[in-house]
Amino acid sequence: MQLTNRNKQVERKPMTFAEKMYLPSIFKGMGITFSHMFKKKPTINYPEQQRPFSAVFRGLHILNRDEEGRERCTACGLCALACPAEAITMEAAERQVGEEHLYREEKYAAKYEINMLRCIFCGLCEEACPKDAIYLSQTFAQANYDRKGFIYKKEDLLIPNPVTDPEGFAKAKGTIPQSK
């Protein structure tokens, strides 16, 4: 008993001798294979060559410093709230007397972590930050063998200090240092 009238009877005609040998299909496949042998390779030799990225590419996160080398992050938590993947966690602390050269504001991020396994590189943390403390660089995330290597701590994310390492700071910002 049929439930619907959608089925159709298929008529199978017998295959010819050439079709039984599969020769036309084999020659067609070999022609496609040989045509690809003479085309330009779509792959690149990664360590030696690097693919150019778009200007709007969003890579690894960077915690920014000001020109005096102080951390810009005030641990307001807006980046963690804006993150749809909940990849950012932070703990705030009060600046102590004598630490004015380390932090710009009275509050700073004592602990700042980004779980790169959860991050979707949307850039909402960068847009939410009122102090321009976090931005997504042109560097892409490195491969790792364990999960702990993908949790980036504050020390991993901080840009080099411009006072002690001006070349590293300029390289991280994407600018060329001025020669004296």
Annotated binding site: 73, 76, 79, 83, 119, 122, 125, 129
Say if CB 154 and CB 109 are below 8 A apart.
yes
Q: Which residues are annotated as a binding site for [4Fe-4S] cluster?
A: 73, 76, 79, 83, 119, 122, 125, 129
DSSP 110-174: EEEEEETTT-----HHHHH-TT--EEE-SPPPPP-SSGGGGEE-HHHHBPPPTTT-HHHHHHHHT
Say if CB 39 and CB 49 are below 8 A apart.
no
Structure-token pair, residue 156? 């991993």
